[in-house]
Amino acid sequence: MRILFVCDRSAGHIFPAIAMAERIKQKKNGDKVYFFATSFSLKEHLIKEGFVVYGKCFSSRNIIIEMVYRFFEALRIIFLVRPNRLIGFGGRDSFFLVLVGSFLFLDTSIYEPNVKSGKANAVLSFFVRRVLRGFGKDKPGEKYITVGIPLRPNIKKIDRKFALKVLGFDDKPVLFCFGGSQGSTFLNNAFTKLIDSLNSDYQIIHLTGEREYFKISQFYNKIDRKKFIKDFYYQMELLYSAADIVICRAGASTLGEISYYKLPSLLIPHPAAGGHQKANAMYFKQRQAACVFSQENFNFEQFRFAAAELLQDNNLRSRMKNNLNDIRIGIGFEDFCDNNCF
């Protein structure tokens, strides 16, 4: 079977596809996976991993030119690959390829990891055969299937004592803050201000992003606590396994990882994410599995109070962990794609 994964240029669109593709390749059942991707760096990564990749990468964006080009590009790719199945992962670049595939009566699906569908997936849901969802959400009929959020292969649970030892920590609570691969100025500022204001006995993990690493490192040179400060760190499984509380954004992949590790969290959704992150965060908040704060109307005192309460109240953390048990959106690499949806 030839399966064509159709992705946009952002990591949030392409990483779930990579996890699915790696799992399909690992099963060795004869399926051949092809990619449509429009990010220069991610395209290079896919080619290095041995996948056949199609899709033109535009250095600048012009919606009219791109729409015309993507339509004819879709026809050409379908003719070349002749896929048996086609799965779209959202985003403007993926729209025409999935739409043309559905008009040609191919077996088409879309995967939507967020609670709130993006614009492309919202339109395509009317045309495709299946809508695969990351978050559980009741929908009528057999078309909508909740499959969870695939985790990266390295996301595995590690013994906490071992993780703490590797980081040079003891058994005190650990606060872990990160803002994605590029970092977040807003999260960095809020977290360092929090560190200045908390009197509890705790340890710190902070992934700052490359741009602000030097400045924030200077701040931590004055902090007399056990800490692990990096701009970026590949072994996230080690950091998650050591952490007690996470402060982060609310992207679908991040929340999948939080649910997998059952970590109480303080979520600050990115305001420029089209409402996706806010909807994801509210899904957790409504189930009492996280505390949520708006960046647009950020109240630091409320944020500080919530962090202090989570640090000091073991019972509160336990209740939040139990509530995370009921969400279970993060699906381990070994378990994902072992169903008939793929």
**What does the pLDDT look like over 86-129, one tens digit per residue?**
999 998 899 999 999 999 999 999 999 999 988 999 999 999 99
Specify the pTM: 0.88
Mean pLDDT, 10 residues at a time, the chain of 342 residues: 90 80 79 91 86 90 90 96 95 94 96 91 95 76 85 89 97 95 91 95 96 95 96 95 97 93 97 87 96 97 98 96 88 57 53
**Residue ranges covered by each domain of the chain:** 2-147, 160-330
Q: How far apart are CA 39 and CA 53, in angstroms?
A: 11
Instruction: Note the pLDDT of residue 42.
Output: 82
Q: Which segments within the chain are labelled E, that is strand?
A: 2-6, 32-36, 52-54, 85-88, 107-112, 130-133, 144-146, 149-150, 174-178, 203-207, 227-230, 245-248, 265-267, 291-292, 330-331
CB under 8 Å, gap of 24 or more: what pairs does 119-127 form? 119/92, 119/274, 120/8, 120/88, 120/90, 120/91, 120/92, 120/94, 120/95, 121/88, 121/90, 123/95, 124/88, 124/95, 124/98, 124/99, 127/98, 127/99, 127/102, 127/103
Return the CATH architecture of domain 2-147. Answer: 3-Layer(aba) Sandwich (3.40)
Q: How far apart are CA 133 and CA 231, in angstroms?
A: 32
Residue 29 in tokens = 């059942």
Instruction: Note the pLDDT of residue 235.
Output: 95
Q: How far apart are CA 134 and CA 329, in angstroms?
A: 7
For the chain, what's the residue count?
342
Instruction: Note the pLDDT of residue 340.
Output: 46
Comparing C-alpha atoms, which of 224, 185, 227 is closest to residue 208?
Answer: 185
Fold of 160-330: Rossmann fold (3.40.50)
Terminal alpha carbon distance of the chain: 11
Q: Tell me if domain 2-147 and domain 160-330 are identical in fold.
A: yes
Q: How far apart are CA 116 and CA 337, in angstroms?
A: 22
CA 145 to chain centre: 19
For the chain, the 3-state helix, strand and coil shares in percent, each to the nearest 5, are 40, 15, 40
Instruction: Note the pLDDT of residue 17.
Output: 87
